[in-house]
Amino acid sequence: MLIVMDSVATAEDIRRVVEAVQSHGLQAHPIPGAQRTAIGITGNRGSVDPGAFENLPGVLEVIPVSAPYKLVSREAKRENTVVSVGDVDVGGERIVIVGGPCAVESEEQAVEIGRRVRAAGGTLYRGGAFKPRTSPYSFQGLGEEGLRILSLVRRETGLPIVTEVLDTDTVDLVAEHADCLQVGARNMQNFSLLKRLGRIRKPVLLKRGMSATIEELLLSAEYLLSEGNYQVMLCERGVRTFADHTRNTLDLSAVPYVQRISHLPILVDPSHGTGKRSKVLPLSRAAVAVGADGLLIEVHNEPDRALSDGPQAILPEMFEELVRQLSRLAPVVGRTV
Ligand code: PEP
Ligand code: MN
């Protein structure tokens, strides 16, 4: 259920409603909007009696929320959420381009790629220190040393850092170094991790599971918001299908679909979505055309020697061309890069 406050409701009115909700043993989540505040109610097993709240001062209406996700829905908040990653806003007019290697491999590699991403006009830096690998014998990432290198990349380039967190044990450690914590496809339904990340005050980039529906993606995001973290971005990174001409099937229709039912920003990852270097640029153009709020792009200076995901990494000069093309394309859909 959602309590919509009047546009002239005072902070005191809102406080009183929150107290009334809590006195019923429920949780209240005030969601400020440009025109008015809405208060989401969670924690109820069955339906809640609207009569308990609709006559409180400042309450405009009490509406049942039909979707299983509540706080992430447009019913709860009409305006787009803008997430601040360091000094970069995600979800506004500017499309963010996150560039960097799949994995941090060395200081030289990570910093060199960072400089090229920055020079090309990339807005955020990505790079994994803890890598979720299919095989236990594959490179697992540099771990804490990788995080230290990421902090160095931020100092050298000024780019805020997005990096993956694999488990609850390392949340604090990763949060110390990252500006945004990535939850990978394989962890989209790791609910204890999501609950833990819901309690930190850093943005989270939540990637779609490789066989997850949009409803499942939004319900995973709901875990983060219901624990109090509203700084959440979603990411379409392709799903498993029968098609084998690409690594995954990039579901670009997810973008306008999510944007209609949720206020959260959504990025597209054409690198994992296609698994093929030559497909990254065309699918990036398509992602911008379809309305993505940002792109996640794997860039490597020596892709043939990359310790993970080399075949899908683009070279720094290809990244430059990508940013150039997207800057020209973005105005067509009312955005900038
Ligand atoms: C990644 O971004 O490097 C990654 C492992 O992505 P995904 O979780 O989408 O496979
Ligand atoms: Mn990768």
What percent of the chain is helix, strand and coil (3-state, nearest 5)?
Answer: 40, 20, 40
Do 216 and 276 sit in the same domain of this protein? yes
Decide which of 63, 94, 110 is a domain's last residue. Answer: 63
Do 54 and 91 sit in the same domain of this protein? no
Residues flanking ion ligand 2, Cβ below 5 Å: 102, 309
Do 179 and 41 sit in the same domain of this protein? no
Distance from C-alpha of 300 to C-alpha of 311, rounded to nearest angstrom: 10
Average confidence (pLDDT) over 294-308: 98
Q: Of 237, 240, 248, 268, which is best to mutate to test ligand 1, by the most ligand atoms within 8 angstroms of its C-beta?
A: 237
Q: In the predicted model, is pLDDT for residue 66 greater than 80?
A: no
Confidence class of residue 49 from pLDDT cuts 50, 70 and 90? confident
Residue 74 lies in a domain: no
Residue 124 lies in a domain: yes
Do 54 and 94 sit in the same domain of this protein? no
Residue 73 lies in a domain: no
Do 32 and 158 sit in the same domain of this protein? no
Average confidence (pLDDT) over 299-313: 98
Q: In the predicted model, is pLDDT for residue 34 greater than 90?
A: no
Distances (CA, A) of 109 to 23, 102, 178, 183: 55, 11, 18, 23
Do 244 and 294 sit in the same domain of this protein? yes
Do 169 and 24 sit in the same domain of this protein? no
Q: Of 113, 272, 307, which is best to mutate to test ligand 1, by the most ligand atoms within 8 angstroms of its C-beta?
A: 272
Identify the pLDDT of residue 261. 95
Q: In the predicted model, is pLDDT for residue 256 greater than 90?
A: yes
Residue 69 lies in a domain: no
Percentage of residues of the chain with pLDDT beyond 70: 100
Residues 6+ apart with CB under 8 A from 15: none
pLDDT digits (tens, 9 = 90+) for 217-231: 999 999 999 999 999
Do 37 and 161 sit in the same domain of this protein? no
For ligand 1, is residue 133 a contact (CB within 6 Å)? no
Domain of 11, in residue numbers: 2-63
pTM score: 0.94
Identify the pLDDT of residue 35. 85
Identify the pLDDT of residue 68. 85
Say how many domains are in the chain: 2
CB 39 within 8 A of CB 71: no
Identify the pLDDT of residue 67. 80
Residue 41: give its domain's CATH number. Answer: 3.30.70.1140
Distance from C-alpha of 208 to C-alpha of 73, rounded to nearest angstrom: 17
Instruction: Out of 41-50, 99-108, 176-185, pick the least confident.
Output: 41-50
Identify the pLDDT of residue 32. 86
Question: Given the CA of residue 187, which atom of ligand 1 is nearest to it?
Answer: 8
Residue 76 lies in a domain: no
